[in-house]
Amino acid sequence: MADGSDNNSDPWLRFRKATRARIGLGRSGDGLPTRALLEFQLAHARARDAVHGAVDFDRLAADLAPLETVRVHSAAPDRATYLRRPDLGRRLNEASRAVLARGDWDIAFVVADGLSAAAVQAHAAPLVRACLERLPGWSVAPVVLAGQARVALGDEVGALLGARLVALLVGERPGLSAADSLGVYLTWAPMPGRADSQRNCISNIHGAGLPIGAAADKLCWLAREASRLKLTGVALKEDAPALQGPEGSGPRPIDRI
Amino acid sequence: MAEYAHTLGRQRHVFDDLRAVMACASPRRSGDELAGIAADSDERRVAARMVLADLPLRVFLNEALVPYEADEVTRLILDGHDEAAFVPVASMTVGEFRDWLLSYEADTATLAALAPGLTPEMAAAVSKLMRNHDLVTVAAKCSVVTGFRTTVGLPGRLSSRLQPNHPTDDPAGIAAATLDGLLYGIGDAVIGINPATDNVPACITLLEMLETMRLRFDIPVQSCVLAHVTTSIQAIERGAPVDLVFQSIAGTEKANQGFGVSLALLREARDAALSLKRGTVGQNVMYFETGQGSALSADAHHGVDQQTVEARAYAVARAYDPLLVNTVVGFIGPEYLFDAKQITRAGLEDHFCAKLLGVPMGCDVCYTNHAEADQDDMDVLMTMLATAGVNFLIAVPGSDDVMLNYQSLSYHDVLGLRHLLKRPPAPEFAAWLEKAGWLDGQGRLPPRGPQSAVVRNLLGRIA
């Protein structure tokens, strides 16, 4: 077979177990065999749909019920602006500032659409629930659902709510192998101007990646440590792998090293 | 600073300083708009180009876009300027320089001699007056040849970096992607891994795996783990088989600080790699990556447009006689290069400017899933760059980098370009393919089925 998929005689079989990379695709002349070409296009289409899809926040609010939710929107009015103007995705629009009432909270959860509607739709509500089970006795703010939002939006939200910690769940930039990957950024004493080095991140939460339960364990461990040490970021280490979030600046060349 | 202006009909376009002329003259791109320095109309963009065309090239020696006192990259550029090499074009305006570059007089030898006399700002300025095809035509006349175990950049050749990344740096997974690439004749520029984890023991594990593979198959290639320079220096101190030292670099001192490097640290890294004397046909031991938008994302662009800041990174690169440099053009994101039109243009500008400055330029023809681009667009850019004589292109299995989550070229793409444009790999590597019996009667690398001797022999010899 041109695509080398005959498993009985596929010399790549043992190598395929070691990597998800598209190895041993076969060739049609110098080009890709038709099946490999279409499989690639399908993966890319799913990633594009995840980026441009809209989170159904009504459904998400229903999934989170009976937890109270609050809806906010960033200063980026639409997806096209959101992609071009990361600065706007990091702050609230005028109307949203008015709906966030100040309280006295140990932690606030913010669900941001980020770059994958699919990730948020599938994994955000289960993760919030799993965390609440693991944080008995904590005072938890109403869950904030944020449209056209980037990671740093959590700083303004957390400050307005008066939360000591903010955990921002966000759809990560989709790759071809996972279009529904969720990330979480935890920030102590959130306020506008916090640097990425002052956050802790858990990445790669999806079906074939980090399971919800394990992600919740990790996040709640970090939250308890953050409350004890009164900080997050590089000083709160748990030797997590390097982070690749969707945060506004996008990946810089340094992300490749 | 001087003020610049141009009148078109009843509209007088005024530009506060040279930076503003350069920024407004740039083709439209999202990064300059994000920075708030782009022209606000198409007419203003052309007015800026008309101003630029009439400026003497020498203005860039007299007026630093990034202050000399505040920036070691500016000092590197101006202190290192070769006035004697500059003489042939010293009296030209930027517009006249464009005409001259396109003329038959500006041939390969003339351009090579001119390179030390040019600053990045001059190259960036003239590129803003050029169409994409001009960028291809002039770059194709430039030749920058470097060597380590292979000779890269010879006229009529197309080299490639084999990029076998893995999300957890699994050596078996990386070996699999490497073997797959070798079967397409990929890797003659470098076999280069972006590690998921930047630490010294992990880096050494990967270097030793590649070294074992290189020696087992007696392949004339160089390997590189693209860790931070400080990691590579420590790996060298611990006796690891380091061929090339990698670093991401940018066009200002502050942006380089964001990468955790300085010119002095790069010098130290190069000295460490040179001390190993591992090259056979040459001793170019550095590998750099760059990309438009990296300075802005580090808030270190000093109000200079992203294409000009990018060109300044090539002045950094050329100070260290690198084997390889490439722009990661579509990787930085749509807030800097929004769509395929902007990515294509930037890729051609970066290649042109680097070659004009004497830098051995390659390209990662690529895009992320939030940019308005797809593989069809990459087909256009890769073909234009190969025609322009790009030193090397990056390729990954099936265009899908499973660690960095973006799309580059496939092994297939580079092989197809070589056959289409009759540009074989580096001579040492081509000889290895010939000796291995992998080429057909026409010098092509034909498809080999999974049961062929070529595939069985290669895969069977890896434990």
* DSSP per-residue codes, A215-246: HHHHHHHHHHHHHHHT--STTS---PPPP---
Identify the CATH number of the domain in which residue A109 sits.
3.40.50.11240
Residue A103 in any domain: the answer is yes
Report which residue type is found at B317.
Answer: A
Q: State the average pLDDT for chain B.
A: 96
Beta pairing class for B400-401 and B146-147? unpaired
* pLDDT over 70 percentage in chain A: 89
Q: What is the pLDDT of residue A238?
A: 57
- Could you say which of B175, B333, B399 has the minimum Cβ distance to residue A40? B399
Look at A251 and B404 and tell me if their CB atoms are within 8 Å: yes
Q: What's the gap in Å between the CA of A182 and the closest CA on chain B?
A: 14
- Say how many CB pairs under 8 Å bridge A and B: 198
pLDDT over 70 (residue A241): no
Residue A59 in any domain: the answer is yes
Q: What's the gap in Å between the CA of B400 and the closest CA on chain A?
A: 7
The residues near B54 (Cβ < 8 Å, ≥ 6 apart) are B93, B94, B95
Buried b or exposed e, range B298-310, using 16+ CB within 10 angstroms? bebbbbbbbbbbb
| CA–CA separation, B60 and A92 (whole Å) | 42
| CA–CA separation, A100 and A70 (whole Å) | 8
Which is nearest to A121 in space by CA: A169, A187, A71, A173? A169
Q: What's the gap in Å between the CA of B178 and the closest CA on chain A?
A: 9
Q: Which burial class, exposed, middle or buried, applies to A81 when counting CB atoms under 10 A from its CB (0-12, 13-18, 19+)?
A: middle
What is the rounded average pLDDT of the residues B397-412?
Answer: 95
- Could you say which of B246, B370, B397 has the minimum Cβ distance to residue A83? B370
Q: Is the dihedral of CA B218, B224, B225, B231 positive or negative?
A: positive
Contacts of B291 in chain A (CB under 8 A): 252-253
Q: What is the pLDDT of residue B109?
A: 98
What is the rounded average pLDDT of the residues B182-199?
Answer: 94
What is the rounded average pLDDT of the residues B116-142?
Answer: 98
B12-34 pLDDT, tens digit each: 999 999 999 999 999 999 999 99
pLDDT over 60 (residue A244): no
Q: What is the pLDDT of residue A8?
A: 54
Residue A12 in any domain: the answer is no
Residue A127 in any domain: the answer is yes
Domain count, chain A: 1
Residue A140 in any domain: the answer is yes
The residues near B141 (Cβ < 8 Å, ≥ 6 apart) are B106, B107, B108, B111
Identify the weakest region by mean pLDDT among A169-178, B128-137, B208-217, B307-316: A169-178
Look at B338 and A256 and tell me if their CB atoms are within 8 Å: no
**Other CB atoms within 10 Å distance of the CB of residue B53:** 20
Q: Is the dihedral of CA A192, B260, B195, A43 positive or negative?
A: positive
Residue A41 in any domain: the answer is no
- What does the H/E/C string look like for B224-253? EECCCHHHHHHHHHCCCCCCCEEEECCCCH
B374-392 pLDDT, tens digit each: 999 999 999 999 999 999 9
pLDDT over 80 (residue B86): yes
What is the rounded average pLDDT of the residues B318-325?
Answer: 98
What is the rounded average pLDDT of the residues A65-89?
Answer: 95
| CA–CA separation, B233 and B155 (whole Å) | 33
CA torsion angle B455 B457 B459 B460 (round to 10): 140
| The residue count for chain B | 463
Domain that holds residue A181: 52-238
**Other CB atoms within 10 Å distance of the CB of residue A45:** 12
Let me know: does A82 contact A89? Beta carbons within 8 Å. yes
Residue A231 in any domain: the answer is yes
Residue A226 in any domain: the answer is yes
Q: What is the pLDDT of residue A138?
A: 98
What is the rounded average pLDDT of the residues A114-122?
Answer: 95
The two three-digit tokens of residue B396, written as one number: 């990954």
What is the rounded average pLDDT of the residues A104-123?
Answer: 96
Q: How far apart are the first and last CA of chain A?
A: 38
- B454 versus B188: the higher-pLDDT residue is B188
Q: Please name the residue that has the structure tokens 């409350």.
A: A227
* pLDDT over 70 percentage in chain B: 99
pLDDT band at B455 (very low <50, low <70, confident <90, very high): confident
pLDDT over 60 (residue A249): no
pLDDT over 80 (residue A248): no
Q: What is the pLDDT of residue A237?
A: 67
Look at B166 and A21 and tell me if their CB atoms are within 8 Å: yes
pLDDT over 90 (residue A165): yes
pLDDT over 70 (residue B447): yes
- Domain range summary for chain B, segments of one domain joined by +: 146-435
Domain B146-435, second-level architecture: Alpha-Beta Barrel (3.20)
Q: What's the gap in Å between the CA of B296 and the closest CA on chain A?
A: 9
A180-239 pLDDT, tens digit each: 999 999 999 999 989 888 899 898 899 888 899 999 999 999 999 999 999 998 788 654
The two three-digit tokens of residue A190, written as one number: 């959130």
| Chain A interface mutation, best of B229, B309, B405, highest count of A Cβ atoms under 10 Å | B405
Contacts of B195 in chain A (CB under 8 A): 257
